[in-house]
Every structure is written in structure tokens, then in C-alpha cells.
Amino acid sequence: MTMHSREYPGVGDTLWSGKLDNGLSIYVVPRPGFQKKTAFAAVNYGGAMRNFTLDGRLVETPAGVAHFLEHKMFDLPEGNALNIFSERGAEANAYTGGDMTAYYFECDELFDENLELLLRLVTTPHFTEESVAKEQGIIGQEILMTEDDPSFVLYNATMGALFDHHPVRESVAGTVESIAGITPQTLYDCHKAFYVPANMALCVVGDVDPEHVAEMAERLTVREYVNPAVPDYGEREGLEPIEKKAVSYMDVSDPMFIAAAKLNTAMPDGDEALRLTTVGELAARCLLGQSSEFYTSLYAEGLLRGDFFRDVSRLAGTLLFECGGSSAQPEQVFERLCETLNAAAKKGVDPAAFERARRAEYGVSLRALNSPGSICASLASCRFGGYGFYEGFDLLPAVTIDEINAFIREYLAPERLTLSLIMPK
């Protein structure tokens, strides 16, 4: 396989990319002279992909199986992969989101040996009744701990208020009851369905030879192309939230809140998805960023604090808007948010605020290039979305204020919002 390079002089990076005959996408960003090397093996499979068709039969899996599988993939016939990485001086870990599972390591030395282990890790399922039963106890304890985490509870309550039946409404980790139904066969089915090269991306950043990385991947993965399973999220949902308000009570010092909306429940692929997401991020920054009138006025009044966030992002076939933080008067913040959205829909955003937001978004994206792990995660996520990561830097200057205003009018209507609260007991 031949790797192809493309320079991005605006950000100072060169991206080497290629695809093996088996469908594995490979991305390498060389960083000559850098000591640390990062490799990231991502699978287009996450906690929301519970139902799918495999070998002509419908497979329905319990909530939490993708996360459970992530844990068990570190079990190799010769021992635990995390221990082997550690013995070689590498820092390794993994995580599972709603629509992606990622395994990664960072190292200064023995890169080839660690990359070989990473590729073996994701392509070698090894599950036994005993090891699965043991893991059910471990993950069960993890789940119980997250149920005491206000941020975790708040996020899941928000998804439950937004969605009626889409699996993102359930925790990626599942419940103690749901993971009790996971068997070795469940894990083998899910691995066979999704852990195929055509459904994966290998991303590397560091002082490495791109052709050598590709050669190793070609040698260490299967040669034949296998179609991945297609997840079934169920019938498309409407854009109105299921509940306008969700309230939980926990031991917190101050109320916590998230205001969220379903912007799209049938996300497009490719450049259209990139543009829609980019415009949405810019619109949210214009209206709610730290230099916005909304934030500065509420911060001055003591209604918002430095933990306030806002985000527009893809998740398992949807596009979501979220903002939140802590506030002594979260419902008052929500009222002001609705007023801000209504005013922007009528008058549009201020041109000066738009330009500030555009420059700020570019700067944040540029700073993220200092993190090899962030680059790898973004390359994989964009690959699964059908568009390029670095192309986003070219798109930002091309977005117009008219697009921002149209997005606000079409997608950020207050009636689409739900308010989720964690109140002190």
C-alpha cells in the first residue's frame, strides 16, 4: 500500500494517509525530533450501537456491552496487555463513547513493539466464562461509583429527557442488571460485527516513518475485506424533547444544570456534516462564549461561574447542543438563555461578535494540535464521520454570518430545549 501526503501550511502539519486492502484507514502526522510517540486504534463502535445485523440474524445486546468489551480486549492469551505496555515503558489506556471505542498508548522507546501489541490487542478476542464473570463484578462496582457522580447522573438524565428510545439515553457503562446478561458469546458477536479493519482507524503522531507504520499494519492485520455490521438505532425520533425538565437531588453544594437540544436526528455524512457541525460550534460560541454578552452579564451578576460550557457535537447519528455548569439560580439562567436565542433569531448575531468567535474557534483548534492524543482522536472521529480533520481549518474562514444566523433560526429554537437539574438535597 502507498501512503499519500498532504501539507497543511496554515497549521504547519503534514498528514500521511492511506487505506489497506482490508479497509483499515491509516493516518500518520510526523513530528520530526519529538521524543514521544502516540498511537491510537479506534473502532467505529460505541455504547449506542446495541442492535445490529450479523450473518443475516438480528443481534440485540444489553446496555453496556461496548464498554464491557473494551475492558476485556486487554486480556490476551499471554497476559494483560496493560501490564505488557507498562513493562515496555508505555502509558496505555482506552475509552468507550456513544459511537467510538479507542485504544491508545504513548511511549518514548520501543514504538514498534508497542504498536504491534496495540494491533494484536484489538484483533485478538480472548474471552472465557470465568474472566467475564470476574469483570461483571469489577464493572458493577464502577457503575455504582458513577451513580454517585453528579456530573454523570446529570448527563444521563439529560439524554433521558431528550430521547424517547434512541440508545444514547442509556449509560455507556450500562447497569448492574444489564451487564449481568453479557456472555463470552455476546462479546465474540460484537467483536466479529464491529472490530473489522474496514470499521477501524489507526492514527499515529510522532517521529515515525509513515510507510513503516503502514507496512506494520498490513502485516499484522487480516488481509481480506470484511463488511462491518450496520447498527440500528431504531425509528428516527422527532426534535422535541421527551421531557421539558428533569430534576434529581444529590449531595451537591450548588445546583448543577444542562440545557440541551436535539438539533438533528439523522445526521448527514461527509462535507455536509463537517459544515453543519462547524457552523453550529461557531453559533454557540457567538451566543454563549466567554466574550458573549450572555456569559459576561450573567457572570457579573453571579449567576454563572467559570465552569460554564457549551458544545455542538455529533453522537451516534445525531447532532446535539448542550450548555451547562453550576449556578445558584439555574432556572433564571435558562430563562436568559431562551431570551438570548429568541433575540438572536430575530436580529441575528453582532458582526463583531461573529469575528471574535471565529478567531477564538480557530485558536482553540490550533492549540489542540499541541496534543498528539487530541489529534489522533479527531482524525478517527472525522474518518467515521466521512470528512477530513484538517479541512476544518480551511472551512472556518469560509463560514459566513448568514449561515450562523440561519443555523440559530432553524436549530436553536427555545422550544427544542430541555433543562436537566441536580439540586442539593
Residue 267: all three cell numbers together: 445526521
Amino acid at 254: D
The catalytic residue among 7, 60, 70, 322 is 70
Task: Determine contact, residues 43/100, Cβ cutoff 8 Å.
Answer: yes
Q: Which residues contact 252 (CB under 8 A, 6 or more apart)?
A: 150, 422, 423, 424
Distance in angstroms (rounded) separating the CA atoms of residues 93 and 71: 10
Distance in angstroms (rounded) separating the CA atoms of residues 309 and 353: 18
Q: Which residues contact 320 (CB under 8 A, 6 or more apart)?
A: 162, 260, 261, 262, 263, 311, 312, 313, 314
Q: Which residues contact 359 (CB under 8 A, 6 or more apart)?
A: none
Cell 464491529 identifies what position? Answer: 194
Q: Cα Rg for the chain, rounded, in angstroms?
A: 22
Distance in angstroms (rounded) separating the CA atoms of residues 159 and 316: 12
272 part of the active site? no
Instruction: Enumerate the active-site residues.
Output: 70
